[in-house]
Amino acid sequence: MKITVLCGGTSSERDVSYASSLRIIEALRSRGHEVFAVDPATGPIDAATEQTLRKSGVKTEPPTVEELERLQRNAITATLGSIPEVRSADVVYIGLHGGQGEDGTVQALLDMGGIRYTGSGHLASALAMDKDLSKVLFRAAGVRTADWLMAPADLATVERKLGLPVIVKPSKQGSTVGLTLVKKREDLGPAIEEAFRHDDEVMIERFIAGREFTVTILGDKALPVGEIKPKHEIYDYECKYTKGMAEEEFPAQLTEAQTADAQRQALAAFRALKLRGCARIDFRMTEDGTFYCLEANTLPGMTELSLAPQGAAAAGISFSELCERIVQLATETRP
């Protein structure tokens, strides 16, 4: 099969996308597929550039806002469907994270060109990326999620409706970019300002203290629940992409009832957003065993430290098999 992997892009998760996509490319080639790489920011990637990128890895900090703005000004995303490697592919594997790769923009462009691709459609992708709308749909589907407000919101309103601490984050970002855990009253304003540097909408959410868990959905099946134990208080960018900064346990040490509850809610969240293919649903669990859904990730990371591959491995699915299954699920949808 001829497969083109979209990688890099113009979001703050550009480095993560490369780390994920290079592993995906290698895995699909090992299964006998003809695989090409295209960066929506710069165009097709040749073999020499691919080798250089393999040595780069994920930095401890995402690209700066200024670096991303320069990329966005010169990006070729709008002409993606006309690139020969994309146009002629049997399946386009979307290895992008965040931004236009995960918010439905790229999916809509591929839909317009009649090009088959992995993951969720443009509407589902947009819904999942918008944390405000996601939480509305989660609650409508019976999925528990923490109370929240959208900025602007003054300190008195936040304290009355949510209390402290709270999480302040861009409403349409990933990998905890621009996210702050606010414990002190005087830190709320600066946290909101920082989040607005990364998005035009900012969410203020009640902080759920407790253990952190994740469930990967593959097709219509929930994979084993995993627990994340970050070195920091929250599972931030550094903990996610720096070796040794977090421990993951698959399957998580939970009771059968707790495992079933997490998987049930993950599937309900997946269906509420009309997701397809592979997605990861994240939770926090309080001391009394109550799960609260944090968000849905429609294009989960595939780096060496990422959670979805670990969930698949716990189910007896190798990394190369996981990538191929994601491709197979794409072939079952209409181009």
Contact 94, 301 (CB under 8 A): no
d(CA 222, CA 307): 13
- Long-range (24+ apart) CB contacts under 8 A made by 290-295 are 290/144, 291/144, 291/213, 291/258, 291/261, 291/262, 291/265, 292/144, 292/145, 292/146, 292/208, 293/138, 293/143, 293/144, 293/145, 293/265, 293/266, 293/269, 294/145, 294/146, 295/128, 295/131, 295/134
How many CA atoms within 13 Å lie on the side-chain side of 82? 4
φ, ψ for residue 266 (rounded to 5)? -65, -45
Query: What's the chain's Rg over C-alpha atoms?
Result: 19
d(CA 95, CA 37): 10
Largest CA distance in the chain: 60
Question: Which residues are part of the catalytic machinery?
Answer: 13, 175, 241, 280, 282, 295, 297, 301
d(CA 110, CA 4): 12
d(CA 156, CA 225): 38
Contact 206, 218 (CB under 8 A): no
